[in-house]
Amino acid sequence: MSKYTIISKRSQIGNNVRIGNYCIIHDDVIIHDNVEIEDYCTIGYPTPSADGLPLVISNNSHIRSYSLLYQGSVFGENLKTGHRIMVREKTIAGKDLQIGSFCDIEGHSEIGHHVRLHSNVHIGQKSKIHNFVWIYPYVVLTNDPHPPSEGFIEGPEIFDYSVLATMSCILPGVKVGRHALVAAHSLVNRDVKENTVVAGVPAKYLCETKDILLRDGSGSAYPWTHHFHRGYPDSIISEWKKGYYDFEV
């Protein structure tokens, strides 16, 4: 039984939902089944910017402690978060999303399926992240081409299977192509071609991703789907093994 928790009677809470201590569940919240919400969380933080839309947390999700989710976002099933995350309104996310501790998702963005955000990722508004993308700590997706502006906001677009390594910054409107790799501590100010590696400030073409070798001599490190399978369902892995990347997820 949770202690010192405040739950609105207007919230809709499914079966087998566990809510921790010191939580606040606001009005405009739909929580589906088999969900765990840990201590000190704020669920469905109200904002007029949500236009009255509820927060939707789907089946089999796990929100870790001290997290803050605004009203007006929708998450697919199997959401897993770290601690102290923050997600603002109108974030529309697919299934199997992982959000690391201290992430700041500013809302008004689209996130695909099976995306992995490590700790302290900052997703500016109007970002678009496709499926199977990996984003590492302290990466920032920006949206303002000549700050401060207003009518010119344009987020980056990060395509399937691409990887943004630690402390990189992606400038407004930049497109990072499929299976691309942005090296750590890069500033990406122009589009990145698929299957390529860019690095530096500003980031320049370094090589093809296939030229990066695994340290054990077993071959190329990319596409990472060749050797990294942790946490993905067998149905997806078997597609990858056949060399398919565009199946329905």
User: If binding is defined by CB under 8 A, does position 66 make contact with a copy of itself?
Assistant: yes
Binder of a copy of itself out of 73, 78, 91, 120 (CB under 8 A): 120
Q: What's the full length of the chain, in residues?
A: 249
According to the binding rule CB under 8 A, does residue 55 interact with a copy of itself?
no
Q: Measured in Å, how far apart are the chain's first and last C-alpha atoms?
A: 37
Q: Which is nearer to a copy of itself, 58 or 186 (CB)?
A: 186
Residue 137 or 177 having the CB closest to a copy of itself: 137
- Is residue 78 close enough to count as binding a copy of itself by CB under 8 A? no
Give me the DSSP letters along 88-131: -SSEEE-SS-EE-TT-EE-SSEEE-SS-EE-TT-EE-TT-EE-T
Instruction: Please report whether residue 147 would count as binding a copy of itself according to CB under 8 A.
Output: yes
CA–CA distance, 194 with 201 (Å, rounded to integer) = 20
Instruction: Single out the residue of 138, 191, 193, 194 in contact with a copy of itself (rule: CB under 8 A).
Output: 138
Give the pairing type, strands 128-129 and 140-141. unpaired
Closest to a copy of itself by CB, 4 or 244: 4
Task: Show the tokens assigned to 219.
Answer: 């071959």
Among 212, 239, 245, 249, binds a copy of itself (CB under 8 A): 212
Stretch that binds a copy of itself, among 27-35, 52-60, 163-171, 237-245 (CB under 8 A): 163-171
Decide if 136 contacts 154 (C-beta within 8 A). Answer: no
Count other C-beta atoms under 10 Å from residue 160's C-beta: 21
Judged by beta carbon, residue 4 or residue 205, the one nearer a copy of itself is 4
- Confirm or reject binding of residue 137 to a copy of itself (CB under 8 A): yes
Q: Both tokens of residue 111?
A: 């996130």
* Cβ-based nearer residue to a copy of itself, 32 or 82: 82
Candidates 107, 45, 103; CA nearest to 75 is 107
* CA distance linking residue 182 with residue 171, whole number of Å: 13
Please tell me whether residue 81 binds a copy of itself under the rule CB under 8 A. Answer: no
Q: Which residues is 109 bridged to in the sheet?
A: 91
Least separation in angstroms between CB 157 and a copy of itself: 17
Q: By CB under 8 A, name the one of 25, 28, 31, 42 that touches a copy of itself.
A: 42
State the amino acid at position 99 in one-letter form: I
CB 19 within 8 A of CB 42: no
**Residues at the interface with a copy of itself (CB under 8 A):** 3-4, 6, 21-22, 24, 39-40, 42, 45, 65-66, 68, 83-84, 86, 101-102, 104, 106, 116, 119-120, 122, 124, 134, 136-138, 140, 142, 144-152, 163, 165-167, 169, 171, 184-187, 200-201, 212, 214-216, 221-222, 224, 227-228, 230
